[in-house]
Structures are given as C-alpha cells and as structure tokens.
C-alpha cells in the first residue's frame, strides 16, 4: 500500500510502499480517507515527544478518519506501531475509535479532532469549567486556540479573553466570540520588554480570570503567570492549564509568583488525561461541531505530496492529507 514513511528519527517522510497492516484481536482494520498533520504527529515522528514509539521505519500519523471493514465511518487514534494514519490503511484498537456523525465530513472531522480534543479535555477534565467563568486563551490566533475560544463559549464561559501576536487574527476572533483581545509582540517579550503586555493582563486578572488555556508556554506563559500573581484576586483562584509550547519548551518562573498567588498549574494531554476521556472529548467535539458551528481553516493535500507539505504548515490552516 502507499504511505508516508519515516525511515529515521528527525527526518521528513518519504512517499512510498509499505506493507499492509493485519488487524489483531481487538483491533479494527481501517481504510483511511483523511488525516491531519498536527504538531503531535510531527513531534512523535521526530522521536522528540514523550509518547513516541521510537520504531523505524514507520508510518507517521497519530490519528485520522476512515472506514472499518464493516462499513462504519470512524475517527481513530494512536494506531499500532509501525502503522500510522498517513497511509491507505492502518490498524487501531476498537476502543480507540470514535464514530463520526453524518453531519461531519471526513476532512472536517480530521481537522477538528485533535485541536478540539485539546481544549475540550482541558476545560472539562482539568479545569472543570463552570458556567459563567472567565477563560483566557493564551495563543488564541492559532488553529487550536481559535477552537478553544469557540468551545469555551459553547461550554458556558461567560467571558473569553484572547491573546496573540497576530493583530489581524485577534480581530477575527471577536467574530468568533472573543470578549477581550490582548496583542503582544514576540520580539518585545524576547527582549524582556513585557510591561505593556503584563499591564494589560493584570487588568483582566484584577477583574477575575478563572481558567487559562496556554498554547504557547515560553516567555508569554511566564508573563501571564506573573501577571496573575500581581493582579489576581485572592477570591478567584486561577487554574492554569498548559497544553502547547509554540513559543518554547521551558519557562523561568520566580517562586514568588506561585507563593504570592492562588494559581494552580497543571497540564492537559496524553497521560495527564486518561485516554478514554480524551476520546470522549473527541466525541463531544463532533457532536458540537454543527450546533456550535465550529470553524477551522483547512488546506487539503493529496497524501502523495506529503514530502513537500510536511514543513509547509503556515499555522493558519490545518493541513489535511486525503488518501482517496
């Protein structure tokens, strides 16, 4: 069968022939129709992610949408190594499959599953969001951040604050439901010039922020946490949920920022949230897709073009490989 093939950790995939999978007991053999190119797929393929299988050669792709042998259309997660989602066929545990509603097409399902799951699980499982609470999405102009804003509103957030470096993108978020937008300049943060950004954040924390969904980490997250300590209210504990690290893998955080605030730091992802809960989040996102009119920009690419598309992600649209 045709597939994207990773022959060595850290190398981009090549399009070629790979042996077909054989489903084992408790697994589904799936004919793949669409699979998104996500940060998680690339990180696992590079061997850098903590959940990487480190099996090569292998087919990348931690998820996708396809049809089982008995004709069911499903979203599948974590195919059994060395098989992945970027192939004509794959195999995955039956318990790792989620039905795709008729109202959601294959490309949309592939595009929204991972980013939608990240925010739904963070809000429902980690933050335990309550209706009327205020959510700050740090890094809201990216694909996952835009969905996080929409899902926050759908789940009952009374107010959503969006931060980002793309001023034009931030203004677009007002249409999606952002109540407040706070821009920042990455070059200013890198230079340690955080005062303007920190002041804007402190003003919001003084009013009250219940949950932070962080897709950036790095210097931006440092600034948010410090602003929460300086401007936050004692009667409004901040649940800070770390999800992505688009701005850096590490932070330098003064201990006083935690000792002087009621901020609770936690992560959301594979292992910090049980897999059944993550899959339940995907199910919920699919059910909400039409009701909440969830929007995500997509770029459809034939799987045969995987080599050129692998590093062409603009961050503004989700690349979805179509197999057939």
Top pLDDT among 146 and 40 is at: 146
Mean of pLDDT values over 142-148? 92
What are the tens digits of pLDDT across the range 164-220?
A: 987 788 888 998 899 999 998 877 777 777 888 899 999 999 999 999 999 999 999
pLDDT recorded at residue 130: 97
pLDDT band for position 254 (cuts 50, 70, 90): confident
User: In the numeric block, which tokens belong to residue 119?
Assistant: 């925010």
Minimum mean pLDDT range among 93-97, 185-189, 281-285, 286-290: 185-189
pLDDT band for position 311 (cuts 50, 70, 90): confident
- Cβ count near 55 (within 10 Å): 11
Who's near 276: CB < 8 A, 6+ residues apart? 95
Q: Where in the chain is the domain with CATH 3.40.50.720?
A: 114-267
Top pLDDT among 87 and 292 is at: 87
String of DSSP letters for 185-232: -HHHHHTT--HHHHHHHHHHHHH---EEEES--HHHHHHHHHHHHHH-
d(CA 104, CA 312): 26
Residue given tokens 């697994």 in the structure block = 27
d(CA 284, CA 151): 10
What are the tens digits of pLDDT across the range 43-77?
A: 777 665 565 566 789 999 999 999 999 999 999 99
Q: Which CATH superfamily is domain 114-267 in?
A: NAD(P)-binding Rossmann-like Domain (3.40.50.720)
What are the tens digits of pLDDT across the range 225-244?
A: 999 999 988 888 999 999 99
Instruction: Please say whether the beta carbons of 97 and 121 come within 8 A.
Output: no
- Cβ count near 166 (within 10 Å): 15
d(CA 231, CA 233): 7
Residue given tokens 């597939």 in the structure block = 3
Q: Where in the chain is the domain with CATH 3.90.180.10?
A: 2-100+294-322
In the predicted structure, residue 313 carries a pLDDT above the cut 80:
no
CATH code of the region 2-100+294-322: 3.90.180.10
Q: Give, as one character, the DSSP assignment of residue 87.
A: B
User: In the numeric block, which tokens belong to residue 64?
Assistant: 């996708």
d(CA 292, CA 156): 12
Q: At what angle do helices 143-154 and 167-176 cross, to 10 degrees?
A: 20
Which helix (H) or strand (E) element contains residue 114? Answer: helix 106-121
pLDDT band for position 293 (cuts 50, 70, 90): confident
Cα–Cα distances (Å) from 261 to 59, 201, 209, 221, 256, in that order, read 45, 15, 13, 15, 8
Global pTM?
0.89
């Amino acid at each position: 069968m045709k597939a994207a093939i990773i022959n060595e950790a850290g190398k981009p995939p090549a399009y070629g022939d790979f042996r077909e999978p054989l489903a084992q007991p408790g697994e589904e053999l799936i004919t793949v129709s669409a699979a998104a190119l996500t940060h998680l797929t690339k990180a696992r393929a590079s061997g850098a992610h903590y959940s990487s299988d480190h099996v090569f050669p292998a087919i990348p792709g931690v998820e996708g949408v396809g049809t089982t042998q008995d004709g069911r259309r499903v979203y599948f997660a974590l195919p059994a190594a060395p098989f992945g989602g970027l192939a004509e066929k794959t195999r995955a545990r039956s318990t790792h499959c989620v039905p795709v509603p008729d109202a959601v097409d294959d490309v949309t399902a592939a595009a929204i599953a991972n980013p939608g799951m990240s925010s739904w699980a963070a809000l429902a499982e980690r933050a335990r969001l309550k209706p009327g609470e205020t959510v700050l999405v740090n890094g809201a102009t990216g694909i996952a951040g835009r969905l996080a804003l929409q899902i926050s509103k759908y789940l009952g957030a009374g107010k959503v604050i969006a931060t980002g470096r793309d001023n034009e993108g931030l203004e677009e978020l007002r249409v999606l439901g952002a109540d407040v937008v706070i821009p920042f300049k990455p070059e200013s943060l890198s230079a340690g010039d955080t005062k303007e950004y920190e002041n804007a954040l402190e003003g919001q924390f003084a009013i009250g922020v219940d949950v932070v969904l962080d897709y950036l980490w790095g210097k931006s997250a440092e600034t948010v946490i410090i602003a929460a300590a300086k401007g936050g209210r004692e009667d409004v504990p901040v649940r800070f949920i770390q999800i992505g690290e688009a701005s850096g893998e590490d932070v330098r955080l003064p201990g006083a920022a935690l000792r002087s605030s009621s901020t609770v730091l936690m992560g959301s992802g594979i292992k910090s949230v049980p897999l059944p809960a993550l899959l339940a989040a995907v199910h919920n996102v699919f059910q909400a897709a039409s009701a909440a009119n969830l929007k995500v920009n997509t770029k459809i690419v034939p799987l045969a073009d995987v080599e050129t598309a692998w590093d062409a992600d603009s961050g503004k649209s989700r690349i979805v490989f179509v197999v057939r």
